[in-house]
């Protein structure tokens, strides 16, 4: 007897339902998406459905063989996109963007980090694809096929459209102006779904690509006026305090401020830094402001006093832009400028970007003697890297500006037993446990480096600036961090954990702790003013950390900001004294400033607007409408 056509299961329906349920399960188990009420739960549950109906609905126009092949391939691709987001989220606590996908040249260097993030159980993320493939192979007759009429197809897509509009309507009610106001990818995924988010991201990428072509110099006028209005003159006592000195700028990989003056297992985590800050200016309310570009973003902030992008890394997406970076400025003021990093020169596209920033020399992997014995994790150990670098410093023309990128204190925080100066922490979280020994190792490397500078006669003629580049422990490890710190990691505490050390050592000057709120964007004007170089004509969003009248303010790349008394994050205003939510109106005066600075900086980068800027004219300059 012939089987009725309706008695067979529809491959389109099965594929859609399986992937829909799998996505929702992934939301609940693999991502830390905050749900505040039942409406948000409904939104989260339904948001993958309209996309899946549209994408699998295309197969309704195909013949049987092509339909089954299309559904199977599409199921695999979407599963791969979901899995890629899961792996990326495990470390970065963030979702993928298209610019990040263009950073594939970094993948060969990731090695152990990627391996650490993938588990055998991850095969479950492809369970629906495997089920479909098995059914098509073993029970091909179970997966039915029928010719769909125009009416059937029209009804199918009308349902998909209705679900999409219902989703957007509920999302707009929960978060007004969702697509125009948010810097938070988690907010987008929670409301429109991970797949629709990627479509929106593709739209943003196309928009950003068009911005440079459409940009003209007139867009700089408002930005220039804003920068001039917020410019702070340097402190008279500090301006030129290090004039003519060499500059040694060291990026401390993944170093957060909570390790300073703290112990683990009864031993100091950073004994050298704890002593060094006694003879240095130590900024204990200083924040990293990086986005998806992590270390490269911190370099971009420090060199340009511009914010990184919310998507991808400027080092990749806009390395051909015109910048007015610290190395370029110092080149014109008699300095020799160099960056030192014992890694492949193409990693994070540094070889290209450093040319745009104005570096005269990049000491990379070929400039070091790298062996298996002096390498671990991501590459050359910090002790050997810094020790070998001193010879490069000795050979540089004086005065020099040198930037060092350390590496050992990098996820997954690997370290051989002979290099451990303290034992790991003892929680159930391997990442947090291993973080402390690698921080301690970095501290020892810095101690030996400073001693060698003294031995080689470089110490007294150099200012040394140490800063943390970004967080090392993401929010995915809040449980173990809560155990170590002895308090719950609320959104307020999580924002406070974005503090990184900033230590400025100037020979002959006494140490002092300065508690002004600042961020990496403030380093450029601070360094230039210490060297006696005026920044009044630069387009900088940072301000000198030593300025007397500076505003206590730092805005993070996700739109959160910190002031003297308040922290604003995840749409909530917190009182810093208590760590508890307070009246949102008390954060209101700073919201516009945070929004303006991020948007103005984005405009400069996307439009490559500094190509139009006449620095010599400053705020009185004209802004031509096209490039000469």
Domains detected in the chain? 5-208 (no CATH), 232-548 (3.40.720.10)
Output the pLDDT for position 7.
Answer: 41
Q: Indicate which residue of 74, 270, 295, 408 is catalytic.
A: 295
Q: Please provide the distance, in angstroms rounded to a whole number, between the alpha carbons at the two ends of the chain.
A: 80
Per-residue pLDDT, 215: 85
pLDDT at 5: 44
| Per-residue confidence (pLDDT) for residue 180, from 0 to 100 | 60
d(CA 121, CA 141): 31
Residues 134 and 6: beta-carbon distance below 8 Å: no
* Residues whose CB is less than 8 angstroms from the CB of residue 454 and which lie 6 or more positions away in sequence, other chains included: none
Could you tell me the pTM of the whole model?
0.77
Q: Which residue has the tokens 């003159």?
A: 233
What does the alpha-carbon distance between residue 124 and residue 57 come to, in Å, rounded to a whole number?
A: 25
Q: Which two tokens stand for residue 236?
A: 């008279």
Residue 295 among the catalytic residues: yes
Q: Could you tell me which residues come within 8 angstroms of residue 529 by beta carbon, excluding any fewer than 6 positions away?
A: 234, 235, 238, 239, 240, 535, 544, 546
How many CB atoms are located within 10 Å of the residue 213 CB?
8
Mean pLDDT by 10 residues, the chain (628 residues): 49 90 92 85 93 92 88 93 87 71 54 66 88 82 72 91 92 76 70 88 75 84 92 94 97 97 96 97 98 92 96 83 96 97 83 93 93 86 96 97 95 90 95 96 98 97 97 92 95 97 96 96 98 94 94 95 96 96 94 95 94 61 39
Sign of the torsion formed by the C-alpha atoms of 618, 620, 623 and 628: negative
Residues sharing a CB contact under 8 Å with residue 574, sequence separation 6 or more, in sequence order: 491, 492, 495, 566, 567, 568, 580, 581, 582
User: What is the per-residue pLDDT across 340-394, written as a single tens digit (0 to 9) for each?
Assistant: 999 888 777 788 899 999 999 999 999 999 998 988 877 899 999 999 999 999 9
Name the CA dihedral angle for 215, 221, 224, 225, rounded to a multiple of 10 degrees.
Answer: -150
b/e map 331-367, b = 16+ CB within 10 Å:
beeebbbbbbbbbbbebbbbeebbebbbbbbbbbeeb
605, with CB counted inside 10 A (0-12, 13-18, 19+), is buried
Rounded-to-integer distance, Cα 568 and Cα 560, Å: 5
Q: Give the DSSP H or E segment for 479.
A: helix 478-485
Comparing C-alpha atoms, which of 380, 345, 293 is closest to residue 605? 293
Cite the DSSP H helix spans in 305-413: 314-317, 326-331, 350-357, 382-395
Of 467, 492, 458, the C-alpha closest to 478 is: 492
pLDDT at site 175: 76
Contact 607, 623 (CB under 8 A): no
**CA 110 vs CA 115, 277, 377: distances in Å:** 9, 33, 9
Which one, of 594, 526, 585, 596, lies nearest residue 289 by Cα? Answer: 594
Report pLDDT for 2: 46
């Amino acid at each position: 007897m012939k089987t009725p056509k309706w008695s067979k299961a529809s491959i389109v329906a099965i594929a859609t339902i399986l992937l829909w349920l799998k996505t929702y399960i992934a939301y609940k188990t693999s991502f830390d998406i905050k749900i505040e009420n039942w409406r948000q739960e409904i939104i989260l549950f339904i948001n993958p459905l309209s996309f899946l109906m549209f994408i699998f609905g295309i197969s309704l126009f195909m013949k049987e063989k092509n339909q089954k092949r299309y559904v199977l391939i599409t199921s695999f691709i979407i599963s791969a996109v979901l899995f890629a987001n899961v792996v990326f989220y495990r470390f970065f606590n963030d979702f993928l963007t298209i610019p990040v996908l263009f950073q594939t040249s970094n993948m060969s260097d990731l090695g152990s980090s990627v391996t650490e993030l993938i588990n055998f159980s991850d095969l479950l993320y492809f369970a629906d694809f495997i089920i479909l493939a098995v059914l098509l192979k073993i029970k091909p007759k179970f997966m039915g096929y029928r010719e769909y009429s125009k009416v059937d197809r029209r009804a199918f897509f009308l349902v998909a459209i209705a679900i999409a509009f219902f989703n957007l309507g509920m999302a707009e009610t929960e978060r007004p102006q969702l697509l125009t106001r948010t810097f938070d990818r988690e907010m987008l995924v929670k409301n429109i779904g991970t797949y629709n988010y990627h479509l929106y991201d593709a739209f943003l990428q196309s928009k950003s690509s068009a911005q440079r072509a459409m940009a003209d110099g007139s867009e700089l006028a408002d930005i220039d006026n804003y920068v001039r209005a917020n410019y702070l003159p340097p402190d008279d006592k500090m301006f030129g305090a290090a004039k003519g000195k060499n500059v040694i700028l060291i990026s401390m990989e993944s170093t957060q401020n909570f390790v300073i003056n703290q112990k683990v297992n009864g031993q100091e985590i950073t004994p050298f830094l704890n002593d060094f800050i006694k003879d240095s200016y130590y900024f204990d309310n200083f924040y990293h402001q990086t986005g998806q570009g992590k270390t490269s973003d911190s370099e971009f902030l420090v060199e340009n006093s511009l914010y990184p992008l919310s998507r991808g890394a400027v080092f990749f997406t806009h390395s051909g832009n015109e910048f007015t970076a610290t190395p370029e400025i110092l080149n014109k003021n008699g300095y020799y400028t160099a960056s030192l990093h014992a890694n492949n020169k193409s990693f994070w596209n540094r070889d290209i970007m450093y040319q745009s920033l104005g570096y005269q020399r990049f000491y990379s992997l070929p400039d070091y003697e790298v062996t298996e014995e002096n390498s671990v994790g991501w590459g050359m150990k910090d002790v050997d890297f810094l020790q070998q670098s001193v010879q490069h410093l000795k050979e540089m023309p004086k005065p020099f500006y040198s930037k060092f990128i350390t590496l050992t204190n990098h996820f997954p925080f690997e370290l051989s037993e002979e290099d451990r100066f303290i034992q790991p922490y003892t929680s159930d979280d391997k990442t947090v446990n291993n973080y402390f020994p690698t921080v301690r190792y970095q501290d020892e490397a810095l101690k030996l480096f400073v001693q060698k500078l003294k031995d080689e006669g470089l110490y007294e003629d150099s200012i040394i600036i140490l800063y943390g580049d970004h967080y090392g422990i993401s929010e995915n490890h809040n449980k173990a961090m809560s155990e170590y710190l002895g308090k719950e990691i609320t959104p307020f505490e999580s924002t406070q954990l974005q503090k990184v050390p900033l230590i400025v050592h100037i020979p002959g000057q006494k140490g002092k702790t300065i508690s002004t709120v600042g961020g990496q964007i403030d380093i450029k004007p601070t360094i230039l003013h210490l060297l006696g170089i005026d920044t009044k004509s630069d387009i900088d969003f940072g301000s000198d950390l030593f300025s007397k009248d500076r505003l206590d303010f730092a805005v993070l790349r996700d739109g959160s900001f910190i002031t003297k008394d308040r922290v604003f994050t995840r749409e909530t205003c917190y009182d810093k004294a208590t760590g508890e939510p307070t009246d949102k109106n008390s954060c209101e005066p700073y919201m516009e400033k945070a929004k303006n600075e991020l948007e103005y900086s984005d405009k400069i980068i996307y439009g490559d607007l500094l190509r139009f800027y006449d620095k010599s004219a400053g705020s009185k300059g004209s802004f031509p409408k096209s490039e000469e």
